[in-house]
């Protein structure tokens, strides 16, 4: 039997505060709410554009899909006293990255999905996209692993518009004029080809690619644009940048001699 993770009165208070604010600064346009199951554990796999999109996604789920949103939240955010109290009272899951506590967070998420029948939101990319055109980028395999071990459905969710409200990398909120925020949920991703098989690295990468493809296709529909054939991979981009710098630093001089500091200055100017 599903257990209640959240305080009912805190949920009411939070919703009564957040909903008017979002209505004041956004013009939501939603589709696909019917693809989110009304009950039972479900993974909501979403792209990540801005630090503001947890609020817009929560708005979509709570109002449009009639599900209470449960997020995995950075442990550093949970240290803020008021935020910590509200997050715990509303069933959010703290994540302390780069430690064994991350395993505990995964176990807590599994408990929320299987025991409590919660709708848990994950960003498979792990961070806001670094793609130059803001398309979903290459993702980590944790969501695929969790879906295959628990058997709960994965509903892809794409959105567009929050980058105009609060661009990533800045704390400058741009609430006015109201920003159009579009949100689309698709049917659960078909992962049947991967079930009941050993969870190898290759299998998890393929399942993850299917999940991200579903999210990207939804966002392409919202934007009316063609997505890149290959998702942006930040690790690959960093490797290529390092190789480019190394090649430039090792290139023959132009005959003017090696003036002190030239190499360091030139290298520092490159990304």
Domain positions in the chain are 8-223
Percentage of the chain lying above the pLDDT 70 cut: 87
Q: How confident is the model at residue 4 (pLDDT cuts 50, 70, 90)?
A: low
Asked whether the beta carbons of 178 and 24 are under 8 A apart, the reply is yes
Query: Which residues contact residue 136 at a Cβ distance below 8 angstroms, ignoring those fewer than 6 apart?
Result: 47, 125, 129, 158, 212, 215, 216, 219, 227, 231
Asked whether the beta carbons of 20 and 178 are under 8 A apart, the reply is no
Q: Across residues 153-176, what is the average pLDDT?
A: 95
In this predicted structure, the answer to whether residue 99 has a pLDDT above a threshold of 50 is yes
Percentage of the chain lying above the pLDDT 90 cut: 68
Superfamily of domain 8-223: Glycerol-3-phosphate (1)-acyltransferase (3.40.1130.10)
Asked whether the beta carbons of 185 and 35 are under 8 A apart, the reply is yes
- As a whole number of angstroms, the distance between CA 102 and CA 120 comes to 16
- In tens, the pLDDT along 200-249 reads 999 999 999 999 999 999 999 999 999 999 999 999 999 988 988 888 77
- In tens, the pLDDT along 109-141 reads 999 999 999 999 999 998 999 999 999 999 999
Residue 114: what pLDDT?
Answer: 95
- As a whole number of angstroms, the distance between CA 118 and CA 40 comes to 6
Query: Which residues contact residue 19 at a Cβ distance below 8 angstroms, ignoring those fewer than 6 apart?
Result: 59, 63
Averaged confidence pLDDT in the chain: 87
- In tens, the pLDDT along 24-73 reads 999 999 999 999 999 999 999 999 999 999 999 999 999 999 999 999 87
């Amino acid at each position: 039997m599903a257990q209640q993770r959240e305080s009912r009165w805190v949920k009411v208070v939070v919703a009564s505060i957040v909903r008017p604010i979002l209505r004041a600064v956004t013009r939501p346009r939603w589709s696909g709410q019917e693809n989110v199951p009304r009950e039972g554990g479900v993974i909501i796999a979403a792209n990540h554009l801005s630090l503001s999109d947890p609020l817009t996604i929560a708005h979509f789920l709570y109002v449009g899909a009639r599900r209470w949103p449960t997020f995995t939240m950075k442990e550093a955010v949970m240290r803020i006293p008021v935020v910590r109290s509200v997050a715990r009272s509303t069933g959010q899951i703290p994540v302390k990255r780069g430690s064994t506590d991350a395993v505990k967070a995964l176990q807590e998420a599994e408990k929320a999905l299987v025991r409590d029948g919660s709708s848990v939101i994950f960003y498979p990319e792990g961070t806001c996209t670094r793609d130059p055109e803001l398309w979903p980028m290459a993702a980590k395999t944790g969501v695929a692993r969790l879906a295959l071990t628990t058997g709960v459905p994965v509903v892809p969710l794409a959105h567009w518009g929050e980058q105009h409200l609060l661009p990533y990398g800045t704390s400058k909120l741009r609430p006015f004029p109201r920003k159009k925020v579009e949100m689309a949920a698709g049917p659960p991703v078909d992962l049947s080809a991967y079930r009941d098989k050993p969870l190898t690295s290759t299998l998890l990468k393929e399942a993850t690619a299917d999940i991200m493809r579903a999210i990207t296709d939804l966002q392409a529909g919202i934007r009316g644009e063609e997505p890149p054939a290959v998702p942006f991979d930040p690790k690959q981009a960093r490797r290529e940048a390092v190789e480019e710098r190394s090649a430039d630093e090792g290139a023959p001089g132009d005959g003017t001699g090696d003036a002190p500091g030239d190499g360091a200055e030139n290298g520092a100017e490159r990304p």
